[in-house]
Amino acid sequence: MANILIQGATILTMEGPDQEIKDGEIAIQGNRIAAVGPRGSIAADYRADRVINGSGMVALPGLINCHTHAAMTLLRSFADDMPLMKWLSEKIWPVEDKLQPEDIYWGTMLCCLEMIKSGTTTFADMYFQMDQAAAAVEKSGLRACLSRGMIGNMPNAEQALKDCVILIKEWNGGADGRIKVMLGPHAPYTCPPDYLRRVVEVARVNQVGIHIHVAETMDEVNQIKANYNQTPVEYLHHAGVFEAPVLAAHCVYLDEADIEMLARYKVGVAHCPESNMKLASGIAPITHLLEAGVNVGLGTDGAASNNDLDMLAEMQSAALLQKVATGDPTAMPAFTALSLATAGGARVLGLERETGLLKAGMKADLILINLQRPHYYPLHNLIANLVYASQSADVDTVIVDGEVLMEGRRVLTMDEDRVIWETQQRATQLFGRS
């Protein structure tokens, strides 16, 4: 593994809104950041195997996508403009029954390719056939938290839980430590209390976290209320789910008691504004969650309900949506949105000691964005430009775990043309299956 020195970039460490270093340099030693500072500040005994010219670029931590269904890239634009439950039951679930292991692999590869090209370095995924997803992550060079989705009221619920244990044994800590495994009970309305308690026990024994959809729609809230006289958050609490580290996706419909409970149990929330808007699920109370001290990150959800995996666009949507929802243009400042996509996401995934900031000792997960684009000028406010004006095509270089995955927009860890060809072939075959 080469030592890499990045020189000349403007550096956003994400340790605070004023932590900006102009004409800076970043020393990478192995898979970690050795030093960050102004040009010329790196220790004299540091030896770089290669130097990357960052002039005209901004360096920042890699973006963190806290909620995806990676292989659903195969279903992009297949079923649009429908409410969630109809979308799932009439379109998505019937097609997913036909997916083969190779479909999962290539769909995840396409997801990884899209994420690399738009600056994401870490993602949290929930799907099935997750050994295939893990193999794709290993090949791509990305960092990921993978969970096998489980629907507790389906006939395969027991096998799904066994699959999770196998995934933990085979892949937790895999890909040189880049893969972390979680358990993925789908949602309160698809997982009965007894099943959730068993999931919690498996999580406890194996010391892993739980990734689950929570309070995504009003239909879900009404169903849990009718069946258990509880909110979805109360339901999970009574089932003991919060005894484990929890990543809760969506969290659109919460009352004050729910928010207080999420804060008390240090539940991480994955906010997916574009998917929630597209499915008309609602607007999550993110400003209230942040005020209560809840850890919040951003997610795109799957490409079937977004329809892209662009975290730069997601943070813009997050900022704008909170402003219009609250009627307050100060509700989510630009730095807050950028923080949710980086340091906030790391906290949500329990990776805050590894990634999300640019400082010595952290894993070398970072991106370079090319500022030599008309939409960044004039350069009044760099952070505002990144949040409100950036485009995925501006991402020039992506480094994960000290390895260069993309440089000059060229992806180095996979054959882009083959990935696109394979996924098109898979999709054509998938929709031709009886």
Report the C-alpha gap between 392 and 117 in whole angstroms: 7
The answer to whether position 426 is within a domain reads no
Same-domain pairing of 77 and 47: no
Give me the domain span that covers residue 270: 63-348
Same-domain pairing of 290 and 176: yes
Q: How confident is the model at residue 244 (pLDDT cuts 50, 70, 90)?
A: very high
The answer to whether position 262 is within a domain reads yes
Is the confidence at residue 157, as pLDDT, over 50? Answer: yes
pTM (predicted TM-score): 0.97
pLDDT at 89: 85
Q: Which residue has the tokens 């044994």?
A: 169
CATH number of the structural domain spanning residue 16: 2.30.40.10
Is the confidence at residue 434, as pLDDT, over 60? Answer: no
Same-domain pairing of 123 and 224: yes
Report the C-alpha gap between 53 and 72 in whole angstroms: 36
Q: What residues does 416 pair with on adjacent strands?
A: none
User: Could you tell me if 239 and 193 are in contact, meaning their C-beta atoms sit under 8 angstroms apart?
Assistant: yes
Same-domain pairing of 214 and 88: yes
The answer to whether position 36 is within a domain reads yes
Question: pLDDT by residue (tens digit) across 91-126?
Answer: 888 888 889 999 999 999 999 999 999 999 999 999
Same-domain pairing of 52 and 91: no
Same-domain pairing of 112 and 41: no
Total number of domains constituting the chain: 2
Same-domain pairing of 70 and 117: yes
Report the C-alpha gap between 87 and 78 in whole angstroms: 10
User: Could you tell me if 75 and 81 are in contact, meaning their C-beta atoms sit under 8 angstroms apart?
Assistant: no
Same-domain pairing of 216 and 122: yes
Same-domain pairing of 370 and 273: no
